[in-house]
Amino acid sequence: MGFRAELYKYVNVVFKNSLSTLNIIPMKTTLFTMLAAVVLFFSVRAGKDTEPMKRSSAVALADLTKNLEYDFNKPSVRDAYYKKLDQLAEAVIADEYAVSLKGHADAIGAYKYNWVLSDKRAGSVKEYLVSKGVKSERIVTTPFGSTVPIATNKTAEGRQKNRRVEIELKKIGK
């Protein structure tokens, strides 16, 4: 039996019992209980109406902030990510977010070269977001080179995961 049916059954029993007794004190308590049950019902119902919207918004943001992966020795954004970046730009503009872009590289190559490459990767994402209308002062880029791997650099799959730009959003308080 659902919550609504249980509540209706409870209110119906309480209401019938209060009509059958003429004692004033239990009747006031019963009416108060009925009123509290009705208020609870509507507050729970109101929460159910808005919850899916909050969840879907959180899911959409989580999808938009997944890492962007890069090809070996390339700072350019893959074509497959442009739609995602367009949606990210819309969200940043509409919902007042600041963006942190953290560029990374795999461990193949010289330390300084990978540092510069990771900076170019983060910079290419920033340039694209700015071209879509995001204010450049809302975007911070940080190069990490190959210093913060998320997978092993001993396999091709691991190196692929390490060639990335991490995206983080922070709501701007007004």
User: Residue 74's pLDDT band (boundaries 50, 70, 90)?
Assistant: very high
User: Residue 172's pLDDT band (boundaries 50, 70, 90)?
Assistant: confident
Segment 44-59 shows an average pLDDT of 46
Q: Three-class SS of residue 99?
A: strand
Beta strands in the chain (DSSP E): 68-69, 97-103, 139-143, 164-171
The sheet with strand 139-143 has its strands ordered as 68-69, 164-171, 97-103, 139-143
Q: What percent of the chain has pLDDT over 90?
A: 58
Do 84 and 64 meet the contact criterion of CB atoms below 8 Å apart?
yes
| 164 pLDDT higher than 80 | yes
| 160 pLDDT higher than 80 | yes
Using CA atoms, how far residue 23 sits from 26, 27, 37, 87, 171, in Å, is 6, 6, 21, 64, 56
Structure confidence at residue 173 (pLDDT): 76
Segment 91-115 shows an average pLDDT of 95
Structure confidence at residue 169 (pLDDT): 94
Structure confidence at residue 60 (pLDDT): 76
pTM over cut 0.85? no
pLDDT in tens, 1-23: 555 555 455 545 545 554 444 44
